[in-house]
Copies of this chain bind each other. A is one copy, B any other.
Amino acid sequence: MPPSPPAPTLDEARALTMRLYRVADRARADFTAVVADLGLTSLQARVLLQLGEPTPMRALAEHLGCDASNVTGIAHRLTAAGLVERVEGRDRRVKLLRLTAEGVRLRAQVAESVAAGATVTAKLDAAERARLTQLLDKVLA
């Protein structure tokens, strides 16, 4: 029975967390730049990607981890841009957000552009990418 692995020191934990932030910030900056070229803020792009199918606003708020009223504002701007429309849900209280045809097209563009522009993985070989995936999944479990 091998001994328990040592707990991370505070400095070590901090250093590793800072690296995660920096990598994620870089990825996020890539994403933001790419979607800005498509006329979207990063959050709007995230919402478009999330709307693979019509989604209740409540569910969207939960997924985004924000208040329902915030989703109202986001939805307002996306409907104003003609990318999304409101559809009645399972009862009259529920509103689904559904992509318009233009929204579907733009969503596909976003997905392609984002993946093509992903620079964070470009520097790793296949084994490293697999390992990183594994480690991140362990953190997320």
- Chain A positions near chain B (C-beta within 8 angstroms): 5-8, 10-17, 19-29, 31, 65, 111-112, 114-116, 118, 120-129, 131-133, 135-141
Q: A14-B111, A22-B140, A111-B14 are in contact. Are A128 and B135 (CB under 8 A)?
A: yes
CB distance from A127 to the nearest CB of B (A): 8
Q: A20-B27, A121-B8 are in contact. Are A13 and B138 (CB under 8 A)?
A: no
Q: A5-B125, A118-B14, A121-B13 are in contact. Are A19 and B131 (CB under 8 A)?
A: no
Complex contact A121–B22 (CB within 8 A): no
B residues less than 8 Å from A12 (CB atoms): 121, 129
B residues less than 8 Å from A139 (CB atoms): 23, 26, 120-121, 123-124
A139 to B5, CA, bound (A): 26
Complex contact A65–B138 (CB within 8 A): no
B residues less than 8 Å from A11 (CB atoms): 115
Q: A17-B27, A118-B13, A131-B131 are in contact. Are A124 and B138 (CB under 8 A)?
A: yes
